[in-house]
């Protein structure tokens, strides 16, 4: 990544920051965009159980309980733009009327003010498939082309983690992907953009030596113990080929409150389960909104994933072995500011991916 190396060699910073738990897309994109924890912004997963007891995607702008930095800047008259690789994130990043497009749906979306042309027409290329590694590169190209077209001054571009799910560090697919990202970074820096890069979450291999995932199906475990319960995987979304809805954290809803201690013991006894917290303790420990998590929050170790039931999860959807995220061991992420900073940055312990825009907007020197 020669352009990244050039930025770091001329005063840029490579820092280590922490992601918000659950370490999944919607939660951490909301953190990065709002600059605050999930307890304040309210996004506790890619899905959640709403007040009506129904499970749904947690991606509507109205679900956000804090303004995004882009929305606030837009209100102050700054031209803004948000681009995402995956359509699932577009409603969230468009909160506050921010022009937003997804690479996935670029063939039929128009960014406000970009004229009658679709996003794909602005770029002059059709959108790649959602499981094509090129989707993220296309999102970056869209961000560059549309920001020029719209005269945007503050831009957010969120990529897909498909490549990180499918290839470990150093593997050929990862190498070529990051090389191609670096080319786009070079374009942005050459165009005079002030650029920060951060991951929404980390990624770990979650399969045993035989290639199958190290998984516990929590509905099945609790049913066997005579404890009917509902389980929600905060990682679950419509892109099942990434992770088959298997991540290292789960929210458990127990039908009978009296059964809570027994359910907790049954889950805590599973090999690979590191912690089972009740609602109040989890909200405190991870800064989560109490009303949007389970009665119990189950955290697995770095190599174990938690699913709903064997019947519901289709492992055939996975291509290759499982690499996934969601838990406590995917909290450490790189945070890059491609420019000199005016003062000492916060210590590693205090730095979060949610600090990206603060560092970029308030602490870089021009």
Closest CB 19 distance from Zn ion, rounded Å? 12
Alpha-helical regions (H) of 229-365? 240-243, 260-268, 279-286, 356-362
Helix (H, G, I), strand (E, B) or coil at 49: strand
Closest CB 292 distance from Zn ion, rounded Å? 20
Q: Which contiguous run of DSSP H or E holds residue 31?
A: helix 25-34
Site stretch for Zn ion (CB under 5 A), options 125-133, 154-162, 224-232, 306-314: 154-162
161 binds Zn ion (CB under 5 A): yes
Residues 6+ apart with CB under 8 A from 142: 83, 101, 103, 106, 119, 122, 123, 157
Helices 172-190, 2-9: inter-axial angle, 10-degree rounding = 50
Closest CB 163 distance from Zn ion, rounded Å? 10
Closest CB 210 distance from Zn ion, rounded Å? 23
Q: Which is nearer to Zn ion, 90 or 363 (CB)?
A: 90
Q: Which is nearer to Zn ion, 7 or 203 (CB)?
A: 203
In sequence order, what are the beta bridge partners of 334?
A: 16
Q: Which is nearer to Zn ion, 89 or 123 (CB)?
A: 89
Helix (H, G, I), strand (E, B) or coil at 179: helix
Alpha-helical regions (H) of 124-168? 134-150, 162-166
Determine the residue with CB nearest Zn ion: 161
200 binds Zn ion (CB under 5 A): no
What length is written for the chain?
Answer: 366
Q: Which is nearer to Zn ion, 235 or 336 (CB)?
A: 235
295 binds Zn ion (CB under 5 A): no
Closest CB 204 distance from Zn ion, rounded Å? 11
Q: Which is nearer to Zn ion, 135 or 360 (CB)?
A: 135
Residues 6+ apart with CB under 8 A from 280: 290
Q: What are phi and psi of 364, to 5 degrees?
A: -85, 150
User: Which residues within the stretch 235-264 sit at the binding site for Zn ion (CB under 5 A)?
Assistant: 242
Closest CB 46 distance from Zn ion, rounded Å? 9
Say which residue the tokens 């045993």 belong to: 208
Helix (H, G, I), strand (E, B) or coil at 334: strand
Q: Which is nearer to Zn ion, 33 or 163 (CB)?
A: 163
Distances from the Cα of 364 to the Cα of 30, 196, 321, 347, 357, angstroms: 23, 10, 41, 17, 10
Closest CB 243 distance from Zn ion, rounded Å? 5
Site stretch for Zn ion (CB under 5 A), options 66-74, 161-169, 214-222, 225-233: 161-169
Q: Which is nearer to Zn ion, 23 or 118 (CB)?
A: 23
Q: What is the DSSP letter of 150?
A: H
Q: Which is nearer to Zn ion, 161 or 355 (CB)?
A: 161
CA max distance for the chain: 63
Q: Which is nearer to Zn ion, 114 or 134 (CB)?
A: 134
Site stretch for Zn ion (CB under 5 A), options 159-167, 214-222, 285-293, 313-321: 159-167
How many residues in the shown chain lie near Zn ion by CB under 5 A?
2
User: Which residues within the stretch 301-360 sit at the binding site for Zn ion (CB under 5 A)?
Assistant: none
Closest CB 349 distance from Zn ion, rounded Å? 25
* Residue 139, CB-side half-sphere exposure with 13 Å CA sphere: 30
Closest CB 167 distance from Zn ion, rounded Å? 13
Closest CB 325 distance from Zn ion, rounded Å? 6
Say which residue the tokens 């960014």 belong to: 111
Distance of CA 187 to the CA centre of its chain: 25
Q: Which is nearer to Zn ion, 67 or 161 (CB)?
A: 161
Residues 6+ apart with CB under 8 A from 172: none
Catalog residues that contact Zn ion under the rule CB under 5 A. 161, 242
């Amino acid at each position: 990544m020669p352009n990244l190396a050039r930025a770091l060699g001329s005063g840029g910073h490579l820092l280590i920051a922490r992601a918000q738990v659950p370490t999944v897309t919607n939660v951490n994109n909301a953190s990065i965009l709002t600059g605050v924890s999930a307890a304040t912004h309210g996004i506790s997963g890619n899905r959640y159980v709403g007040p009506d007891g129904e499970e749904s995607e947690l991606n509507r702008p109205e679900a956000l309980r804090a303004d995004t930095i882009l929305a606030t800047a837009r209100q102050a008259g700054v031209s803004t733009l948000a681009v995402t690789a995956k359509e699932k994130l577009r409603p969230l990043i468009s909160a506050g009327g921010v022009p937003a497009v997804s690479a996935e749906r670029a063939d039929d979306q128009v960014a406000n003010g970009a004229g009658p042309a679709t996003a794909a027409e602005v770029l002059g290329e059709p959108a790649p498939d959602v499981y094509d590694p090129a989707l993220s590169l296309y999102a970056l190209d869209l961000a560059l082309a549309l920001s020029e077209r719209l005269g945007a001054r503050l831009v957010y571009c969120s990529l897909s983690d498909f490549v990180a799910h499918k290839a470990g560090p150093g593997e050929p697919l990862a190498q070529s992907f990051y090389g191609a990202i670096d080319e786009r970074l070079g374009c942005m820096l050459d165009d005079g953009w002030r650029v920060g890069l951060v991951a929404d979450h980390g990624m770990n291999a979650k399969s045993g030596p035989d290639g199958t995932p190290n998984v516990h199906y929590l509905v099945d475990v609790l049913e066997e113990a005579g404890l009917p319960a509902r389980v929600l995987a905060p990682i679950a979304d419509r892109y099942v080929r990434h992770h088959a809805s298997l991540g290292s954290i789960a929210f458990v809803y127990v039908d009978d409150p009296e059964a809570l201690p027994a359910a907790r013991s049954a889950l805590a006894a599973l090999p690979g389960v590191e912690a089972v917290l009740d609602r109040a303790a989890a909200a405190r420990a991870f800064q989560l909104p109490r009303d949007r998590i389970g009665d119990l929050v189950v955290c697995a170790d770095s190599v174990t994933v938690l699913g709903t039931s064997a019947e519901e999860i289709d492992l055939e959807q996975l291509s290759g072995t499982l690499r996934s995220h969601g838990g406590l061991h995917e909290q450490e992420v790189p945070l890059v500011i491609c420019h000199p900073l005016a003062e000492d940055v916060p210590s590693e312990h205090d730095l979060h991916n949610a600090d990206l825009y603060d560092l970029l907007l308030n602490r870089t020197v021009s």
